[in-house]
Amino acid sequence: PVITGISSDSNITGDGVTSDNTLLVNGTSEANTVIDILIGNVSIGGATAGQDGNWLFDYTTTVLADGIYSVTAKATDAAGNTSEPGPVFPVTVDTTQPTLVISGNSASTNADTYLATFTFSEDVYGFDQNDITVENGSVTNFTAVSASVYTASVTTGSEGTITIHVAAGVANDRAGNLNTAASPYHFIYDLVKPALTIGSPAMNPTKTAFTATFTFSEDVTGFTVDDIIVGNGSAESFAATSASV
């Protein structure tokens, strides 16, 4: 006997990968033979082939856990002769929805475009640029890096927060499971240069070494002692009190 398929074989018909965990198994054999269906070496029930040799086994009363199953069948004729198991029909049950994480390379930018990355938990089908929504911006240059990783350029709008959304149900995995919604991803479009104030508690003039404080109007990166120029003196013992001081 030969297993010819399962119902329902969701998404891609014939691949044996399904999100349906209660199955119907169908196949062919000699007419009027008794069919024994097995998962691995364990019998799970039987069916009888019709005059045309077709048979159907209803296994919908059993809920299968996600996993890969090797399904075979044996046939017994009226004389009691039982065949060896037929070819293995692999069945993959997958009821897990793909998840999606949106990411970027920085929390803020002053550039006109920003590269966003969309990473699914598994390979998906049907995801495209139209599935991405941007508040205070727009999407261009959508690229599939792989079947699970995609990138897109976000053209920034006005200064402030830009938010990227991908809704649930816009893509599906091989079994046909639709994705869950991604958590919104936020970044800041910032064109305002940070201001810097230099101060010191020391008296002016002074005859000893003193502490100078450099206070930026916002958090900055890359500021080091080499950026400080002292006329008729030198700077040392540089320390960051915070990201802005």
pLDDT digits (tens, 9 = 90+) for 15-24: 999 999 999 9
Instruction: Using only the alpha carbons of the chain, give its radius of gyration.
Output: 33
Nearest to 150 by CA among 199, 221, 101, 210: 101
Residue 204's pLDDT band (boundaries 50, 70, 90)?
A: confident
Q: Give me the mean pLDDT over the 162-179 stretch.
A: 98
| Predicted structure pTM score | 0.83
pLDDT digits (tens, 9 = 90+) for 62-118: 999 999 999 999 999 999 999 999 999 999 999 999 999 999 999 999 999 999 999
pLDDT at 164: 98
Q: Which residues contact 232 (CB under 8 A, 6 or more apart)?
A: none
Predicted confidence (pLDDT) at residue 207 exceeds the cutoff of 90:
no
